[in-house]
Structure 1
Amino acid sequence: MRLLSALLLALLISASAAVAQQTPVKTATQTKAKQKVKQPKSTKQVAAKKAPVAPVIVFRQTPCFGICPDYDATIYPNGRVTYVGRQHTKLTGTHELKLPAATVAMILAEARNIGFRKLQPHYTENTSDLPSTFLSIRQPDGTLKTVQVEEGAPASLQKLLHYISGELDKISSNTADR
């Protein structure tokens, strides 16, 4: 079961990266508007536009035998969130949400402060009813470090997971209320 969860997480991360690399289709109106106002671009601006933006955080909560929320949230540096709610969430299906970029920066800073990079990959026991929380954070070298938590994680990591969950709950609630 854990292997299946890890494989699903890897597929989600790969799919998110592939989606992030796709170029959006422009309408004829957007193309004409761009043609009217052409400004010279520096090579840095052109390179920055061509570079795909990869997600910096992937947060996933798995179901349990009760009413545990089951969702994935892929978070980008600018605060864009691709949220996939499956069950026991305010939103089900796939949604594009928005976190403040400052919140994303705060999550990444707190992960550095608690030494996320050096945490164990798994904090699990042999309890079948517990949901798992997966947190993946892009490291400075570009790799994703993933930690799976069921129980027994350090308090600082539990606090970070609770904060991320709360922020995602806020933005999904705001969208569901509309």
Structure 2
Amino acid sequence: MMLRAFAAAALLAGLAACATPAPGAPPAAETLAISVGPCFGFCPVYSVEVKAGGQVVFVGERHTAVEGRREAQAPAGGYEAVARALAPFRPATGASEQTTCERQATDMSHYTVVWSAADGTQTTLNHDAGCMSAKNARLMEALKSAPARLGVADWVRRPE
């Protein structure tokens, strides 16, 4: 009887170890939201939210190809690719941070990235696209690639 209980405990421990995410991987129940605010001009204003399972909600507000709410499924690996690209810029869990500027161009779009955990904890990064530095250039690459990785790039593009 004792051996059977030990074997069951060992099996459960082994299964738990398999379910543990890799270091740097986003928690399985986390939602990632990116909001893009206006600039002085015709920059797209929208928000996109994606759950770990790939469910995407897009809301086009102004200067986007699609206005209003749309839902889709992100391409395979889309959520993970965006989460990995933004991971180096993520503040400590529960914190809210603003990126710092070495040089700044005015009248650029403002980005807000919110990581929401299943328990309601939110982690927020605010970034002004005019904040220029090598680190912020990498952040902008990650932010600008997110719509394509999530399958909503055609909804973001301004109509011609």
How does the TM-score come out when normalised to structure 2?
0.61
Counting only pairs closer than 5 Å after superposition, residues 13-162 of structure 1 correspond to structure 2 as 56-112=31-87, 114-118=88-92, 121-123=97-99, 129-138=107-116, 143-150=121-128, 151-152=131-132, 154=135, 155-162=137-144
**Quick one: percent identity of the two aligned structures?**
23
Question: CA 1:167–1:110 in 2, change beyond 3 Å: closer, same or farther?
Answer: closer
Letter paired with 1:162: K
Letter paired with 1:117: P
Give the distance between the partners of 2:105 and 2:85, measured in 1 at CA.
29
Give the distance between the partners of 1:160 and 1:109, measured in 2 at CA.
9
- Give the CA RMSD over aligned residues: 3.3
Give the distance between the partners of 1:115 and 1:88, measured in 2 at CA.
27
SS in 2 for 1:66: coil
Give the distance between the partners of 1:134 and 1:105, measured in 2 at CA.
19
Asked if the contact 1:77–1:101 (Cα under 8 Å) also holds between the matched residues in 2, the reply is no
**1:167 aligned partner:** 149
Higher relative contact order (CA 8 A, sep 6+): 2
* Structure with larger Rg: 2
Give the distance between the partners of 1:165 and 1:111, measured in 2 at CA.
13
Give the distance between the partners of 2:96 and 2:61, measured in 1 at CA.
27
Structure with greater helix percent:
1
Deviation at 1:139, TM superposition (A): 5.7
Shift >4 Å, 4+ stretches = 124-128, 139-142
Give the distance between the partners of 1:129 and 1:81, measured in 2 at CA.
29
Q: Which moved more, 1:156-165 or 1:65-74?
A: 156-165
Structure with greater strand percent:
2
Asked if the contact 2:96–2:123 (Cα under 8 Å) also holds between the matched residues in 1, the reply is no
Deviation at 1:92, TM superposition (A): 0.2
* Number of positions where the alignment pairs a residue of Structure 1 with one of Structure 2: 122
